[in-house]
Chains A and B, each alone.
Chain A
Amino acid sequence: MNDKPNSNKTRALQLSDIRKSFGEVDVIHGIDLEIEEGEFIVFVGPSGCGKSTLLRLIAGLDDPTSGDINLNGKRVNNVPASERGLSMVFQSYALYPHMTVGQNLSFGLENLRMDRAEIDKRINDAAKLLQIDHLLGRRPGQLSGGQRQRVAIGRAIVREPVIFLFDEPLSNLDAELRLQMRVEISDLHAKLKNTMIYVTHDQIEAMTMADRIVVLRGGNIEQVGRPLDLYNHPKNKFVAGFLGAPQMNFLEGTLDGNVMSLNCGMVRDVPLAQPGKGAVTLGIRPENIHVDLGGKGDETVTVQNFEQLGAVTYIYATFANGDTLTVQHAHQIPLQKGQELGVSFPTESFHLFGEDGASMELAR
């Protein structure tokens, strides 16, 4: 293990072959993951993918069925939650409703038999940092959603943990507050420089906050990487579809050598690194499709519906065979339902997925 001070990165957390089953149901199917100190990691995936379970295993609230959890190089499988030196912000905040904000913050420290002076100092520091020092005497019931969120984070901070765990902390806030808290948590990470593990089902949160994203599905890791790497080079169809809004367009077809013929009628040469044969899916993000108002372009589609947002325009269209296509256009354009529209597909923004959903490498 790397214990040297000032080494550029140490491994804060290491998961090897973690499995978890509740009775007959397997929830986590063997996960390996390494997280470095100071990283902001986001676990993202659809509901039921096991991301919260994984977080609870790390926290020590549940025990893994098999596999090892190493914290700073020490195996902590049998260490109770309270002694792992982690702290967690819960989805419902889990503030003790019968205690004041100050008591909420100090409860954990009192349990650790800390000196009162030290407790007060930590609480004051955290309260200042989060601008909740005027709320210390209030009860959680008297606070707004955003204030409760801050208190929950404050409770995590005062413990001065090795790793912060966040379990969908923003899902109970309205859109505006969510945006604000997103920025604040990112700032906090910049200030504290602790390792943070953040669970969410919202890919925007993942994209905006993470140093690295872990995409989970059905108890397996689909892909790990920096946000834009995942966006630009998804390893499979699931990751491609999960990240990005509106979702990537998927068009079915067949491949013969380098020639791709899609069900919608489009036939294109694609520069495949390894030409093949069989079923294929073309993935293309809505913002990469160009609109030709003149009706020309590579293909012609029929506009079914559209949303004019001012800065952008979303167009929902269909091909002649009924395949649907979403187009994001960066300007305002005059449109009518039922209108025919020419669209062009630049080859350099193609993503091709084979029958198994895995990404096929393109020679660029």
Chain B
Amino acid sequence: MSRLATFLTRTAGTKDKADSFTIQDFLAYAYLFVGVLVILVPVLWTFFSSIKSDTAVESFDTRLMPMDQISQMVDGVGEKDVWVYTAEDGRTQLVFKAGPTRKLTDVAPVDDPEAVFQVPRKSLTPHEDIRVAVENYLDPILKRNGQDNFHFFTYLYNSVFVTVIATLITLLINAMAAFALSKYRFRGRLTFTILIVATLLIPSSIILVSLFFVVWSFGIFGSLWGVIIPAAATPTGVFLLRQYMLTIPDELLEAARMDAASEWRIFWRIIIPLSLPALSVLAILSVIWRWNDFLWPLIVLISDPAAHTLQLGLTQFAGEFDTNFHYILAMTVVTLIPITLVFVWLQRFITTGIATTGLK
């Protein structure tokens, strides 16, 4: 039949023929290339915009490089923006504006401030060079220039605290539950398994309101624990680990029992080390989930700015400063950098790990 179908059914590593570049190869690469462009360009664009000066961001400069207009001390006049004047014969000259901008603007050469002359506005272009606007990042983080509403280190601490503690608790209790479900025969095992499947099918957003009541009754509403505890037990984690632990031979456990190990010691000396691949996949998933969590922290933590996570802080920040795009973009980049670094560092592991351990 067709080559497109060959293309559709060909699997990894199959070399149909040792033939050269075919149309289906072309289509495949074209698809991948366009796809990656669609994914990367917005992210990169945000990054490149975040290192532009505020005037460039404000005026929606669409050039890739961070261009910034040079300003210079002019003798007897002060700090002035420098413009390039292009005369009709093509000669150029560095000038500054000596008066208000009109159709015909008064300008004077930088090296001779007294020689004022009139030029059409359109013949002036800004004199620019490349400058990375580090202040976009440093101002909010160090609270300079009146940027004291973005408590970066508080948010970072809260986010890291929630992510690390929640992940540790998740790993421990999910592994315990998975161990019980995969390696013991006991009355009620099926019931427990079904209960956990049921939680897998209960979408978190339909219990928002009542979860709020429960968390409030526990007295952890408004604190970071109110975000950590409810999310600590994940059905996904239990299943992922259970599936993996089923592949650990029972004979190992029996050997350990003959070796006089208590059940708890079997758990952490035999089961935990042997489940490391699945545990690290769950750890990565948990880090992604907790780091990126939005709706529930929004409900629990919104009233206390000192308890905001990075995501909440960024949302609030973006809401307050509708015009300060340069700060928002910089903080967006700051927020996405940790997860991007984790991803670049562990990408092969993450993708194969999630793919092989299967379900979400």
Contact = CB atoms under 8 A, between A and B. Distances in A.
Interface string B249-288: 1011011111111100100011001100000000000000
B258 A82 contact: yes
Contacts of B269: 107
A98 B273 contact: yes
B274 to A, nearest CB: 6
A363 to B, nearest CB: 50
Contact of B260 (A56, A90, A98, A111): A111
A56 B258 CA distance: 11
A97 B274 contact: yes
A87 B256 contact: no
Given A94-B251, A94-B252, A61 B260 contact: no
Contacts of B261: 82, 107-108, 111
A107 B259 contact: yes
Interface in A52-86: 56, 59, 61, 80-83, 86
A157 to B, nearest CB: 13
A191 B257 CA distance: 27
A288 interface: no
B260 A82 contact: yes
Nearest to B253: A94
Contact of A82 (B249, B257, B273): B257
Interface residues of A, number: 24
A92 interface: yes
A82 B258 CA distance: 5
A208 B108 CA distance: 112
A209 to B, nearest CB: 22
B251 A91 contact: yes
Interface string A89-106: 011101111100000000
Nearest to A59: B258
A107 B256 contact: yes
Contact of B259 (A56, A82, A92): A82
B257 A61 contact: yes
A90 to B, nearest CB: 4
Contact of B254 (A83, A90, A96, A97): A90
Contacts of A315: none
B274 A108 contact: no
Contacts of B257: 61, 80-82
Nearest to B270: A96
A108 to B, nearest CB: 3
A91 B249 CA distance: 11
A90 B255 contact: yes
A91 B261 CA distance: 20
A188 interface: no
Contacts of A56: 254
Interface in B66-96: none
Given A98-B273, A98-B274, A107-B269, A92 B258 contact: no
Given A81-B257, A82-B260, A98-B273, A111 B252 contact: no
Given A92-B249, A96-B270, A108 B254 contact: no
Given A92-B251, A98-B273, A98-B274, A86 B265 contact: no
Nearest to B261: A111
A88 interface: yes
Contact of A86 (B256, B258, B270, B274): B258
A106 to B, nearest CB: 10
Contacts of A88: 254-255, 258
Nearest to A86: B258
A71 to B, nearest CB: 14
Contacts of B255: 88, 90, 94-96, 155
A81 B256 CA distance: 10
27 contacts: A56-B254, A59-B254, A61-B254, A81-B254, A81-B257, A81-B258, A82-B257, A82-B259, A83-B260, A86-B258, A88-B254, A91-B251, A92-B251, A94-B252, A95-B255, A96-B252, A96-B256, A96-B270, A97-B274, A98-B273, A107-B259, A108-B258, A108-B259, A108-B260, A108-B261, A111-B260, A111-B265
Given A81-B258, A82-B261, A98-B274, 16 more contacts: A56-B254, A61-B254, A81-B257, A82-B257, A82-B258, A90-B251, A91-B251, A94-B254, A97-B274, A98-B273, A107-B269, A108-B260, A111-B260, A111-B265, A112-B260, A155-B259
Instruction: Please list the 4 inter-chain residue pairs (A to B) with the smallest Cβ-Cβ separation, ordered nearest first.
Output: A108-B259, A82-B260, A94-B255, A94-B251
